[in-house]
Amino acid sequence: MRLKDKVALVTGASSGIGAGIAARFAAEGARVAVNFRPGSPKDRDAAEAAVAGFGANAIAVEADVSKHDQVEAMVARVVEAFGRIDIAVNNAGIEINKPFLETTDEEWNRVLGVNLQGGFYVSQAAARAMVKQGGGGRLIFISSVHEDIPFPNYTSYCASKGAIRMMMRNLCIELAPHGITANNIAPGAIATPINQTVLDNPIAFKNAVSEIPLGRFGKPEEVASVAVFLASDEASYVTGSTYYVDGGLTQQVTMY
């Protein structure tokens, strides 16, 4: 039980990497708030089913992370339900496959809204609550290998992830006096719904796997284990870092 009684909020936790992190946190004894986005009955059902499976110490919290007021209300709800917040995992993310020359304002704002504004709103609201309650805290951002390496036709996504990297590095310094650490996990190709098109296309899948030294896609649990470490007492001196969980992708990428 590496997170016994800690209170954690995980955004975008109704599927994929977020769901994997929420499940692992609960198994490690944390009280978990499972965020899901409004307007998707499927996500609501998944979040509620996950919470029911975790037992009494979990809640499902609806919020569009790109909306400041919804994020404030969500963090307030977590603090009301559990009395505090110790860990915020900024995981909610979207990507749009579109050549730069064709990307619209609306698409750019949508991706930056969820990935970057969302990270800002959630980490700021959580950090303010952590400062108020005292005793430090943990901010974890699920960025991407594309916080650093280019991904043609995903410029909005790369811009959002690169910005998250810089935000995290600044927060490391600004929040250190409060005992709050900030770190990124940069996943590579993980078998989750965001990659469904590639997973369903044998040629695209083969090309993607050929870029990965370990020769396979990762699993959400393999990202979750690093998140547990960063959230646990064992990572007390770790801040301002990016942890790549990518099967070696960043070391040999030629970009499929």
Q: Is 157 a catalytic residue?
A: yes
Active-site position among 154, 157, 243, 244:
157
195 scored as a contact of ligand BGC (CB under 6 A)? yes
Q: Which residue from 46, 172, 194, 230 is in contact with ligand BGC, where contact means CB under 6 A?
A: 194
What count of Cα atoms within 13 Å lies in the side-chain half-sphere of residue 145?
22
Residue 188 binds to ligand BGC (criterion: CB under 6 A): yes
**DSSP letter string, 50-111:** HHHHH-SSEEEEE--TT-HHHHHHHHHHHHHHHS---EEEE-------B-GGG--HHHHHHH
Smallest distance from ligand BGC to CB 194, Å? 5
The reply to whether 147 sits near ligand BGC by the rule CB under 6 A is: no
Q: Output 26 or 145, the one with its CB closest to ligand BGC.
A: 145
Q: Compute and round to an integer the Cα radius of gyration of the chain.
A: 17
Q: Does 78 bind ligand BGC (CB under 6 A)?
A: no
C-alpha dist (Å) from residue 13 to 3, 138, 232: 18, 17, 19
Of 58-66, 124-132, 188-196, 231-239, which segment contacts ligand BGC by CB under 6 A? 188-196
Hey, what amino acid is at 90?
N
**Of 5 and 221, CB closest to ligand BGC:** 221
Q: Using CB under 6 A as the criterion, which residues of the chain lie in contact with ligand BGC when the complex forms?
A: 95, 144-146, 151, 188-189, 194-195
Active centre residues (catalytic): 157
